[in-house]
Amino acid sequence: MAKPVAKGEELELQIESLAYGGNGVARLNGFVLFVRRGLPGDRVLARVTKVKKNHAEAFAVEVLEPGAARVEAPCAHYPACGGCRFQDLAYDIQLDAKAAQVADSLARIGGLKAFELEPAVSAESVFHYRNKLEYSFTSTPVGLGLGLHKAGRWDEVLDVEKCWLTTDLGNGIRNAVREWARTEGLAPFDQGTQEGFLRHLVFREGRNTAQALVTLVTAPGDLPGADRFVETVRRFPEVKSVHWAVNDRPAEVTNVPTRLLWGEPAIEEEILGLRFRVRPNAFLQTNTAMCETLYRLAIEYAGLTGEETVYDLYCGIGTIGLALAHDALTVWGVESSEESVACALENAELNGIMNAAFFAGDVADSLEELRDRAGSPDVVMLDPPRAGLTGKALKQVAALDAPRIVYVSCNPTTLAGNARELVAAGYRLERARPVDLFPHTPHVETVALFTQV
């Protein structure tokens, strides 16, 4: 059967809504097209880029009639930069779309309807909210550049002068490091040829402590101008920790061992009145203000009375578990990253919390041993990676028979799939609430409460 559209064809389309991931949804005689850069209410001229059995993909080459939800994007790098997807979409429409995607995923993928979907929590600030940015070095016609990947491109980096997701401090440090690299005459690493030296700059900021950590990631070799690099970033008084990391692999990763060049090995952040030590590769939610909102909601869902044994799975540096400890009998955290567990142990000591313990290990392989040591949990707190719980981990969690499971998710589709399996294992989804930690992106966090039937 012939498809109603062909690759390369240009069509006038009316964008109806947003799909999960951020593409606009249009229909041509019932055939669905996912249109990149198309926003709800827009009438666009779109070029078809891919045709599949049940849908096609397209790119909006021209907005013929903007929808009411389209606004002016403030960033000079938008939409070329891949850091933001929706600066030109009114924020209230962004939030509504994210809430709808959570509801749709739980209903369509999870098959769940008899639960309370609470109103989405809007972001406290829609700009300058990120406490961590990872920049890439690149070549430009005027010399070495430092910025973010272009939208949809792994092999092209856009030199950035001002990013609206970070703070003035973050922008200042990035620009100062670029000037240092140009002065030193250092070559950026080319992902295509695997040649060059400078790969990434990672900036982390304690938003409530005014402390900053900077990591320079390079290819193997000595670091020329290391002292001048340290001097450059130390001009900013907030910088308390400066690191150097060597990535000798082809892949673009920054989560590699670091060497301390100057200052303290970690910075601190304050969340819900607790102090947390943050090392270069430790996980921390990238929106500090909304992280507090997210964790307050998770604590509310946990419903602790002071008598519960809590398992904090995928515990990171212990942020959620330590926030729960005040109202729990004991908290037991499990995390695969040894660096994060080291931070969690430090953080428990830093805050004088004696009823929380943390262990390094894979969740799927650790729960039987943990139950033998700690006893059965009354509450399980889950905060897994974007891929959700693996099949083995999900079975192990369900086998714990905890009366309550609180699931903090950063991906509605994997949450929905895991929710379906938990319901099949004897749980009921009681309530869920989307929380927007990432304005101008398609990403949304969700807190969900499961109770035993």
Residues in Cβ contact with 424 at an 8 Å cutoff, skipping those fewer than 6 apart: none
Q: Which two tokens stand for residue 33?
A: 């097209």
Catalytic residue from among 81, 163, 343, 410: 410
DSSP-derived letter for residue 119 is P
Edge-first strand order for the sheet with 309-313 is 116-117, 427-435, 445-452, 404-409, 379-382, 309-313, 330-335, 356-360
Q: What is the pLDDT of residue 370?
A: 95
- Find out whether 220 and 249 touch, Cβ atoms under 8 Å: no
Would you state the pLDDT for residue 3? Answer: 77
* pTM (predicted TM-score): 0.93
Axis-axis angle for helices 168-184, 226-234 (nearest 10):
150
pLDDT at 1: 54
DSSP SS3 for 369: helix
| Domains, the chain, ordered by start | 10-65 (2.40.50.140), 96-125+287-452 (3.40.50.150), 132-267 (2.40.50.1070)
Question: What are phi and psi for residue 248, nearest 5 degrees?
Answer: -100, 15
Nearest residue to 22 (alpha-carbon basis) of 448, 438, 447, 433: 438
Question: Which residue, among 131, 134, 159, 133, has the nearest Cα to 146 in the 3D structure?
Answer: 159
pLDDT tens, N- to C-terminus, the chain (453 residues): 567 899 999 999 999 998 888 899 999 988 999 999 999 999 999 999 999 989 999 999 999 999 999 999 999 999 999 899 999 999 999 999 999 999 999 999 999 989 999 999 999 999 999 999 999 999 999 999 999 999 888 889 999 999 999 999 999 999 999 999 999 999 999 988 999 999 999 999 999 999 999 999 999 999 999 999 999 999 999 999 999 999 999 999 999 999 999 999 999 999 999 999 999 998 899 999 999 999 999 999 999 999 999 999 999 999 999 999 999 999 999 999 888 899 999 999 999 999 999 999 999 999 999 999 999 999 999 999 999 999 999 999 999 999 999 999 999 999 999 999 999 999 999 999 999 999 999 999 999 999 999
Tokens 């997701």 label which residue?
165
81 a catalytic residue: no
For residue 2, what pLDDT is reported? 64
In the block, tokens 């609180």 appear at 406
Q: Check the CA dihedral 79-83-86-88 and report its sign.
A: negative
